[in-house]
Amino acid sequence: MPAHESGETPSHVLRAHNLRPRKSLGQSFLQDRRFGERVVDALEPAQGDEVLEVGPGTGVLTDALAEKVGRLVAVELDAQLCTLLAIRYKDTNVQVVHANGLDIDPSGYFKRAYKVVGNIPYYVTGPMLRHFLEAAPVPETLVFMLQREVAERIVASPGSLSLLGVSVQLYARPAIVARVPSGAFFPKPRVDSAIVRLKPHGQRHEPEAVRAFFTVARAGFGTRRKQLANALANGLELDRSAAHALLEAASIDPARRAETLSVDEWLRVADVWRQQPRAQA
């Protein structure tokens, strides 16, 4: 019987099968089903939906999702948990896949609109977000359980933006749906978490624009607290006058700092930079 229906918690399931959380995989299982329901609600599931779940663990979210969507692909890296899930969901609308979420190509599983959900290990947050935000086809909605501090960086506004924040906001509109205390997990992590919903933008930027965006943004954020002209001069190997000219051509005050620029402003700077001969070197 699924854990969600029987009332079993991840700690009970693991003990019953003589298993322990694996630190090497960053495993921390959601035990409080109230927050599991918040995750599911944030995904706004419908009966015809197709959903990709990353890191189902013992199946707490999987149970709640399976009864509300048309098809669920659950991707689990832990081979032992994958075996348990495959037995539990045999002959259901859940397809269990033993794989690393970072290696999954959604086009191999979905031929139409789909959504992504997951409680992902903190140490792969950045790569996992970018993997699915850059995926083809693009997910309709993504909902992830993330470390609270990381979630707050992702949803930050100009003035307190980070490289992670602008990187995510280039692809999607993020929002924190709920904050989740560390006590809602087993084993209990040292930090609180947050449920983050991401709605991808309707139109993607061309690949050259994206590459230029990341080159320029990394340079800008590469030297903390420096004026942008100085940071870009260092990061892009420009002399100071060229860095000033670059920013002025993009209508950006050279004295501003990286954390104050919006995504659109970074795109402007990147567009000017990639049109310069040096950007092609």
pLDDT at 18: 67
pLDDT of residue 19: 67
Cα-based torsion angle of the residue sequence 201, 132, 60, 186 in order, rounded to the nearest 10 degrees: -110
pLDDT level of residue 83 (50, 70, 90 thresholds) = very high
User: Could you tell me the residue ranges of all domains in the chain?
Assistant: 3-200, 207-280
**Contact yes or no for 201/158 (Cβ under 8 A):** no
Q: CATH topology of 3-200 equal to that of 207-280?
A: no
Model pLDDT, residue 276: 87
Rounded to two decimals, what is the model's pTM?
A: 0.90
**What is the per-residue pLDDT for 61?**
93
Kindly report, residue by residue over 95-152, the tens digit of the pLDDT. 999 999 999 999 999 999 999 999 888 889 999 999 999 999 999 999 999 999 999 9
pLDDT, one tens digit per residue, over 265-281 is: 999 999 999 998 754 44
Domain 207-280 in this protein, CATH class: mainly alpha
| Domain made up of 3-200: CATH architecture | 3-Layer(aba) Sandwich (3.40)
Within 13 Å and on the Cβ side, how many CA atoms surround 61?
33
SS3 177: strand
The three-point CA angle 167-172-177 to 5° equals 105
- At 278 the pLDDT is 56
pLDDT of residue 7: 59
Q: What is the mean pLDDT of residues 219-228?
A: 90
> Mean pLDDT throughout 177-193?
92
